[in-house]
Structure 1
């Protein structure tokens, strides 16, 4: 079986998706724009630093609940050092119930006199200023915000690495621990942006429902539309050709011709879900067909992402060949930059399908969007989604080319195209997130579907909190 990208004509760039303004490249300047240079907004805590962090939590618990050290330690151990849970239980059920549940026998303790007034907005935990209506005043007189303790999470790695992560600014973010695990800080699941945490939870639950998926949803092979032989994809591109010679689209399985450009297959488009093309079936069968459409594309891009993991090894070999050949460039980072952009964007594209399944499914937002509004928003989203998909497939195709064997002039041309596609793909990711934030979720009266913001450089790697972490503020 052979793999093809969405295109074979290298000359048709005038109607490509990326902007030709990038052809001048401004190489050094542009390549620096691909990646975020902001300081880290999340930090990991080594085992050695946890002692200082635990002492900080212990001191806060003692001060806020007027407890002696041994009682505060027992309380925190019972609640697994989740200060947020401790404070929530205290506010909802009171100090006696809180301590009794942890097996703590309290003696008479002195209470603090409160001198706080309504205009006092200084949090006595993190020492930041907050509006009065965002503060909680405890019976002991202390005032605290509900924000701080939501910003520390244990790394969910299995087996546990023992590190904790603290988000400095926003709990709705995706982080990478020192151990290498990337996860959603809000729900501790795998990084799933642009899906909201609720969407991702519902998607995982739905994927486990074997009664809906059925044996006919095949994730690893596709039947050739001509000879019906199973075809397995061994590369990242989604235009494949069977051993019998029939080319077809890997995403939908439809037969295609050989005429194509790098952005599309001639007379073929399958990214949109077309309800009108459904056969006359029951509502239950229609639900399965719709789920199959999104699930298969989600799974296909996940497999492409997996297949492209080996690409970096081949690219390094190409770089070595180029450096020892006639094409001598001051910097071959355009190759690794292109690969990084490919994998980051492919991951995002993968999660756009679960997002679309719930966004336009008529269930989560049935009371907030009319059918007409849903259709308009879906078309807008699918436009951005398909533009991104075309660029990703084009970038994958050019990176797969054996350009290390090309003459210097052709290598230079490939280089310009990969740089332009890398930049264009980054811009399309930004536009997709902007569409989701401002056009889709933004106008809705909801607070449960907040997504992690787009980061050009990918999931943020946490920096280390040193021993003075008890003095740091968010």
Structure 2
């Protein structure tokens, strides 16, 4: 391949600039991990420890028992900062009351040898078969057991309320475990542990299928992030679908629905067929005559769709005159055809790039195998370091993915479905041209990067390998910069001035989607 003829997007002005780009690329291929991770993987084994970490913090700060700390955290969705804010601003009593916690003073109750249960209506029961909750209400153990059993089996065990009428107090965990069977107690504990994920907006289960068993915790409460679980799945933390940046979650949801349902088939039928006025089946037009005959025997006019007689002349159809086209019907058909053309345009390009993505994933694996093999068989001085080609193919994979998602983004960004009233026609056209210019530049450089990586570098001599390495590094940097510019354009010129708060997108990362680090913590002892 003649690298001298490559596009000026990544050509070098002089040798000094070339060395500078080369050094920048060298830093890039080292895959330096950020010192500050933005997400953590919580495995099944570390889930208890992660939950314990929050429990101990609340127990120490508020001087409460573990079951009380858990009840508070479940109510406040495991947001320790929010819980403490309520405590400081409104006091402990208000915080306890909202969460369903009460502190009962046993000295206010006169001890009796026998008691009555207001649920089963049994009288004179021994006090040792009765249990009093912290709210002060007492019922027999059999009634409590039945109550707990029903709630646990119904999946409502994280916040089991007292049986007393209108009492909103949460039952003590230790009492629940004591009265139910060992199997139900285990199920109850599992619900309490899983609450740390299911009731916590900062923690979500990895959506892998089959489920890997891990959860991901965000360190910072930012709007939208894409994360990579230790199982290898990359997904959007907000909507739990596959990573889809630069599409917003809403755009991606609409796009996936548009691709899988039959809406576009119906759209085509609307544009290209008319319904028979008798049997209502779609009929397409095969010749120039506007008198249509359905299989059911009904005759109708193609122009207006109304039923007619069978005979006709050049000028008219017997028993019918449809007059002029109705403007609203014409506009409706034209718009349906235009919408279908737009969708077809973007879907074709989206699919083309996703198909390339699959092939380039195989290329990535092939290059990795080739690099490892040649590092063992060729001159060690030349082939000892293959990170340059591995980095380039990873850059290709990441940028191709972004490029494919940029087409559904463009469909909704410059259509009328989401932003009909936010931009004038002139403004929409201007922004569309700006975005498409950047999109085309990125597309051209991605294709060049893909072409170079298909070369048999393992068969090249030392000089040609060094030359290929230099050009790959420069082209990789060019692609990286184009991706950055596209995201800056989306944030500052497109979504930013409109509704960036609603259509947030995950930020671009030069190193690719950050892999969540594994959560490590000693299980706290209380």
Q: In 1, Cα distance between the equivalents of 2:62 and 2:240?
A: 29
TM-score (norm 2): 0.59
Question: In the TM superposition, what is the alpha-carbon distance from 1:378 to its structure 2 partner?
Answer: 0.7
| Counterpart in the other structure of 2:238 | 186
Q: CA distance change for structure 1 residues 300 and 60 in 2, over 3 Å: closer, same or farther? A: same
Question: In the TM superposition, what is the alpha-carbon distance from 1:63 to its structure 2 partner?
Answer: 11
Question: In the TM superposition, what is the alpha-carbon distance from 1:104 to its structure 2 partner?
Answer: 1.0
RMSD: 4.0
1:256-275 alignment runs, 5 A limit = none
Which runs of 5 or more structure 1 residues have no equivalent in the other structure? 1-7, 111-147, 217-279
Stretch of structure 1 that moved more, 448-457 or 328-337: 328-337
Q: CA distance change for structure 1 residues 461 and 316 in 2, over 3 Å: closer, same or farther? A: closer
Q: CA distance change for structure 1 residues 60 and 106 in 2, over 3 Å: closer, same or farther? A: farther
TM-score (norm 1): 0.65
| Counterpart in the other structure of 1:150 | 201
- Structure 2 residue corresponding to 1:297, chosen from 349, 366, 380: 349
Contact 1:74 1:104 in 2 (8 A): no
- Structure 2 residue corresponding to 1:27, chosen from 22, 25, 44: 22
Q: Does 1:50 align with 2:47?
A: yes
Identify the structure with bigger relative contact order (alpha carbons < 8 Å, sequence gap 6+).
Answer: 1
Q: Does 1:391 align with 2:445?
A: yes
Contact 2:206 2:215 in 1 (8 A): yes
Q: CA distance change for structure 1 residues 308 and 104 in 2, over 3 Å: closer, same or farther? A: same
Which runs of 5 or more structure 2 residues have no equivalent in the other structure? 84-93, 101-147, 170-198, 269-331
Q: In 1, Cα distance between the equivalents of 2:209 and 2:57?
A: 30
Contact 1:25 1:420 in 2 (8 A): no
| 3-state SS in 2 of match to 1:444 | helix
| Counterpart in the other structure of 2:216 | 165
- Structure 1 residue corresponding to 2:161, chosen from 94, 104, 109: 104
1:369-380 alignment runs, 5 A limit = 369-380=423-434
Q: CA distance change for structure 1 residues 296 and 194 in 2, over 3 Å: closer, same or farther? A: same
Q: Does 1:16 align with 2:8?
A: yes
Question: In the TM superposition, what is the alpha-carbon distance from 1:430 to its structure 2 partner?
Answer: 0.8
Question: In the TM superposition, what is the alpha-carbon distance from 1:374 to its structure 2 partner?
Answer: 0.7
Q: In 1, Cα distance between the equivalents of 2:375 and 2:160?
A: 69
1:86-101 alignment runs, 5 A limit = none
| Counterpart in the other structure of 1:232 | none
Q: CA distance change for structure 1 residues 65 and 281 in 2, over 3 Å: closer, same or farther? A: farther
Question: In the TM superposition, what is the alpha-carbon distance from 1:61 to its structure 2 partner?
Answer: 9.1
Q: In 1, Cα distance between the equivalents of 2:51 and 2:503?
A: 32
Q: In 2, Cα distance between the equivalents of 1:306 and 1:57?
A: 42
1:320-359 alignment runs, 5 A limit = 320-321=373-374, 324-325=377-378, 328-329=382-383, 331-359=385-413
Stretch of structure 1 that moved more, 384-393 or 398-407: 398-407
Q: In 2, Cα distance between the equivalents of 1:470 and 1:24?
A: 52
Considering fraction of residues, name the structure with more helix: 2
Q: Does 1:197 align with 2:189?
A: no
| Counterpart in the other structure of 2:336 | 284
Contact 2:77 2:201 in 1 (8 A): no
Question: In the TM superposition, what is the alpha-carbon distance from 1:444 to its structure 2 partner?
Answer: 1.3
Q: In 1, Cα distance between the equivalents of 2:494 and 2:523?
A: 39
| 3-state SS in 1 of match to 2:4 | coil
Contact 1:150 1:171 in 2 (8 A): no
| 3-state SS in 2 of match to 1:18 | coil
| 3-state SS in 2 of match to 1:349 | helix
Q: In 2, Cα distance between the equivalents of 1:316 and 1:466?
A: 31
Number of matched pairs:
356
Question: In the TM superposition, what is the alpha-carbon distance from 1:405 to its structure 2 partner?
Answer: 2.6
Q: CA distance change for structure 1 residues 282 and 342 in 2, over 3 Å: closer, same or farther? A: same
Contact 2:251 2:408 in 1 (8 A): yes
CA deviation vs aligned residue, 1:264-298 (integer Å, no higher than 9, x gap)? xxxxxxxxxxxxxxxx9621121111101111111
Contact 1:53 1:470 in 2 (8 A): no
Contact 2:22 2:470 in 1 (8 A): no
Contact 2:224 2:238 in 1 (8 A): yes
Q: Does 1:404 align with 2:464?
A: no
